[in-house]
Structure 1
Amino acid sequence: MAGELNEGSVPPYYREVYEAIRSKIDERVQVEVFQRLLSRTDLPSAVQGQIAEHVDYTDGFLSKLSLYKALALIALAQQGKQPSPKLLENCIQEFPKPQLGEFKDLQTLRMQPTQESPLTVSQTLGKLLARDTVQVELIPEKKGLFLKHVEYQITSQHFKISVYRRYSDFDVFHELLLQRFAYRMVPALPPKRMLKGVLTSMSERDFIEGRRRALGRFINLVARHPFFSEDELVKTFLTFNGSDVQVKMRDACKKMGDEFMTNTMATLAKEYLPADIQAQFSSSRELIRNIHNSFHKLRDRAEKMAERSKENATDLLMFGRELSTLGSDGSPIPSLASSQSTWGILRQSLKGLSVEFALLADKGAQQGRREEDDVVEKLNLFLDLLQSYRDLCERHEKGVLHEHQRALQKYGMMKRQMMSATVQPKEQVSVEQLESRIVQQENAIQTMELRNYFSLFCLHQETQLIFTYLPITSHILGAFVNSQVQGHQEMGAVWNDLQQKLGCLFGVDEMQSPPLTAK
């Protein structure tokens, strides 16, 4: 029968292709082998995706008839036709022969080692960090026609270029990233403004510096993400030097669409998901939430330690200044022999001690900055990533799943209306319109189901990225310990010098302080 796919209705070439690429231990064809076959057709990736969407898979394999169907669709697509199952039903001639290159090369598709599952993200922390390092520096404040604005110099080591961006550019970039990669971890942006009239000018500078750091963390996480780093949108943000970067980014995003439209795995995601994907998702989400809470507490403690180091530096500086003030006091000393013989010399000695205390204060301030830059900042980077994962989980549940459920409810309502129309005769036009709407809704539901599976597919990959980043814990601990060792060594050296100086000034015996009160 014309258009019917079976063993007898297909050309001998179809059977030869099947025998060449089928599994040696199975009567079926591996999905990976079929993907390699599809890539030999020279068809556009979008058309390849459409063909793959119309082919049935089970447990990562194609049946013989599924392969025949795919070969027929490939051949028809190579003739310039839109691949569709209806095209096969209406085919009244013998199914055409697809162009797959040299037949002798087809067996090599099967002999190639099975590639790692596309669900697996083969990355290490070192590889992720090596993808790029982006510097975000504040440039001198500029004034616009009415308002002053802050501008940043963005320097990418990977692209070896510097560009200038305003916060509004980051804002548009972030918005487009969420549109393009709705199923991936997109870090949040820091707030644009602070409450006016509440903070002092010094606090405003602190706010701007904090925002610069947060923007730096944001762009580095994006530039190191394996699915973002080579995307045209990210390249445009990091390399485009024109004044209309926002327009350029929007145009690039419009041309590409979202990741579901461009990722070759979008329509195949279901086949690679483990059967217990929902259970894995729930357990991973709970574990990562606990990790996030613990790292949040670690960051808070590290911030307090860095703040204490800076406060200690200030106290040491003020302590030295008070000693200097005391030593500079030129008030005459009463003519009491004991006082005049000791206090005059002691007072002169105190004046010179401010140098050592200023040095101690400087070392303490350096310690605080090291703790802030090397420890707190790394903790904040990982916290930003963990928060973006939690945001992604919420988008999955409130976005894709919710829309899918609403579409199913709408479909059920339309089916009930259709049943009512068949029981109670209505105008033919209204029935046909209802049928058309039902078909459209079925297509919408099918697309949403595919998006739901692709969302889970991406979630699984993003979860792997979180665990790939977890060894950053050792980097953080190493930075913390090293900063403490360096700080204590540097300050210890100054304290030792000060101790020796005091011994020379006052004598060793005077340095041995007896108890001043009874214990």
Structure 2
Amino acid sequence: MAGEINEGSVPPYYREVHEAIRCRTDERVQVEVFQRLLDRTDLQKAIAEHVDSTGGFLSKLSLYKALALIALAQQGKQPSPKLLENCIQELPKPQLGEPKDLGTLRMQATPDDPLTVAHSLDKLLVKDCVQVELIPEKKGLFLKHVEYQVTSQHHKISVYRRYSDFDVFHELLVQRFAYRMVPALPPKRMLKGVLTSISEREFIEGRRRALGRFLNLVARHPFSSDDELVKIFLAFNGSDVQIKLRDAYKRMGDEFITNRIATQAKEYLPTDIQNQFSASRELIRNIHNSFQKLRDRAEKMAERSKENATDLLMFGRELSTLGSDASSIPPLASSQSTWATLRKSLKGLSVEFALLSDKAAQQGRREEDDVVEKLNFFLDLLQSYRDLCERHEKGVLHEHQRALQKYSVMKRQMMSATAQSKEQVSVEQLESRIVQQENAIQTMELRNYFSLFCLHQETQLIFTYLPMTYHILGAFVNGGWIFFF
């Protein structure tokens, strides 16, 4: 029966539905996707028994048959091959919604969909935990330098790294994973005239924290965490780590060269990828701006808690000084004055203020270590996404446009040379250059689609991390708030 349905006999709606839910690499429809379509109709049993599938897929004609049966069932009729045969000349239209909305059925995770990032937040967070600790300063021949102990739970090893090692590692990561999120490094030195409000010690501590966030984001990334560059940086215990990193990159090249589906990326992309990218970019930009404000407020609250701790301690000390005053009370006040008794109690009360000061200091540390640090971690991730979007637009797209412009100029030169009957050698040279440019443009187009493919995955990764908001709010609440009146 399905063989009597052909492309020309079906309504346009059938073709639109097929285009929305078919595989990206061929015309077949996955059974899992079709089942999701049926779930919208509550007609699973009535339709499924009449639909043919092979190897987990429906052919285009099998889908058309299923759509016709769905339409008949929605009209209150009992779907059957005989009924379908009677209306073959004018197939009814099923009520399934707009085809563009059906594309989301295909976007849900399927076992063989390389575009989908099938990682939960919990799975990402336990992938690795990297600690970065400052070790005592070492003095070289001329300058002293700061060294860090880097400990990876996944690799079960501690290694020692200098900032210059981080710098080379970051540089190579950006080259290797140009189409992925790579968090920025903190500055190496204090910027004169900008960070004058903090001490050098505070700057070094802030840099240590930032380096830890950088490594944890890299070590938990689903696509770069298992790369040789990351393994070398976290586990190679030698003094020539920079040479080791550069040699590894020379062997591998960038991800486009080593990724097995890089040249087929276009086949997996949704048709509205540009619209999805624009909408996601704007949403993430707004989220980033809001989280920056949250972080700024949390920093101020943590700072106030520390200031409260200092003020409470000083308040208690003054009470102690007042209560320790051994001066005698003059006769004119001694008969009715309670100052002597009050003075003794003040000294005891100063101990309570010392305890309050300690609690305020602990709260400040909790706010800084839990709330502020988690906010900074998420902000580093969001900023790396915005940096990636900028690399995509200013890098791949601009290079592609320049290549097309160059190709256009060369074609005009070729036409001019042919029209003017220039020397055969000159014409052949132009032809050779045009062929080379065509190959370059083809490679750039493939890279552009792979860049969009990676952007789609990185966008999914951002939304996978968004539930960290619960972790941040939990740390905020669990820290408790101390109010003093």
Scaled to the shorter chain, the TM-score interval is 0.7 to 0.9
Q: Distance in 2 between matches of 1:337 and 1:287?
A: 72
Tell me what 1:167 maps to: 163
Confirm whether residue 386 of structure 1 aligns to residue 382 of structure 2. yes
Q: Map Cα deviations across residues 230-253 of structure 1 (whole Å, 9 max, x no partner).
A: 100000000001100000000001
Tell me what 1:233 maps to: 229
TM-aligned CA distance change 1:363 to 1:339, over 3 Å: farther
TM-aligned CA distance change 1:236 to 1:340, over 3 Å: farther
Offset of 1:340 from its aligned partner? 7.6
Q: Distance in 1 between matches of 2:335 and 2:130?
A: 64
Tell me what 1:333 maps to: 329
Q: Distance in 2 between matches of 1:164 and 1:408?
A: 47
Tell me what 2:142 maps to: 146
Give 3-state SS (helix, strand or coil) of 2:149's partner. Answer: strand
Counterpart pick for 1:203 among 190, 195, 199: 199
Offset of 1:326 from its aligned partner? 1.3
Counterpart pick for 2:212 among 204, 211, 216: 216
What value does the CA root-mean-square deviation take over the aligned residues?
A: 2.5
Q: Distance in 2 between matches of 1:396 and 1:328?
A: 70
Native 8 Å contact 2:24 2:269 kept in 1: no
Tell me what 1:424 maps to: 420
Q: Distance in 1 between matches of 2:444 and 2:256?
A: 11
Tell me what 1:322 maps to: 318
Tell me what 1:13 maps to: none
TM-aligned CA distance change 1:459 to 1:350, over 3 Å: same
TM-aligned CA distance change 1:163 to 1:339, over 3 Å: farther
Offset of 1:324 from its aligned partner? 1.0
TM-aligned CA distance change 1:340 to 1:139, over 3 Å: farther
Native 8 Å contact 1:150 1:167 kept in 2: yes
Q: Distance in 1 between matches of 2:443 and 2:154?
A: 37
Native 8 Å contact 1:307 1:368 kept in 2: yes
Tell me what 2:115 maps to: 119
Offset of 1:161 from its aligned partner? 0.4
TM-aligned CA distance change 1:201 to 1:292, over 3 Å: closer
Q: Map Cα deviations across residues 280-329 of structure 1 (whole Å, 9 max, x no partner).
A: 00000001111111111111111111111111111110100111111222
Q: With structure 1 as the length reference, what TM-score do the two structures score?
A: 0.72
Confirm whether residue 400 of structure 1 aligns to residue 396 of structure 2. yes
Confirm whether residue 253 of structure 1 aligns to residue 249 of structure 2. yes
Offset of 1:131 from its aligned partner? 0.4
Question: Could you tell me which amino acid in structure 1 is paired with residue 344 of structure 2?
Answer: Q
Q: Map Cα deviations across residues 258-298 of structure 1 (whole Å, 9 max, x no partner).
A: 00000011100000101100000000000111111111111
Offset of 1:112 from its aligned partner? 7.2
TM-aligned CA distance change 1:362 to 1:388, over 3 Å: same
Offset of 1:334 from its aligned partner? 1.9
Give 3-state SS (helix, strand or coil) of 1:454's partner. Answer: helix
Tell me what 1:275 maps to: 271
Q: Distance in 2 between matches of 1:290 and 1:202?
A: 29
Q: Distance in 2 between matches of 1:366 and 1:262?
A: 49
Offset of 1:330 from its aligned partner? 3.2
Tell me what 2:445 maps to: 449
Q: Percent identity?
A: 83
- More deviation, 326-335/147-156: 326-335
Tell me what 1:43 maps to: none
Confirm whether residue 60 of structure 1 aligns to residue 14 of structure 2. no
- More deviation, 425-434/174-183: 425-434
TM-aligned CA distance change 1:449 to 1:301, over 3 Å: same
Q: Map Cα deviations across residues 391-414 of structure 1 (whole Å, 9 max, x no partner).
A: 000000000000000000000000
Give 3-state SS (helix, strand or coil) of 1:141's partner. Answer: strand
Tell me what 1:351 maps to: 347
Equivalent pairs counted in the alignment come to 390
TM-aligned CA distance change 1:306 to 1:201, over 3 Å: closer
Q: With structure 2 as the length reference, what TM-score do the two structures score?
A: 0.77
Give 3-state SS (helix, strand or coil) of 1:135's partner. Answer: strand
Q: Distance in 2 between matches of 1:354 and 1:432?
A: 95
Tell me what 1:435 maps to: 431
Offset of 1:198 from its aligned partner? 8.1
TM-aligned CA distance change 1:353 to 1:133, over 3 Å: same
Q: Distance in 2 between matches of 1:445 and 1:136?
A: 44
Q: Which runs of 4+ in 1 moved over 4 A?
A: 196-202
Which segments of 5 or more consecutive residues in structure 1 lack a partner in the other structure?
Answer: 1-24, 27-57, 64-109, 496-519
Native 8 Å contact 1:334 1:340 kept in 2: no
Native 8 Å contact 1:333 1:340 kept in 2: no
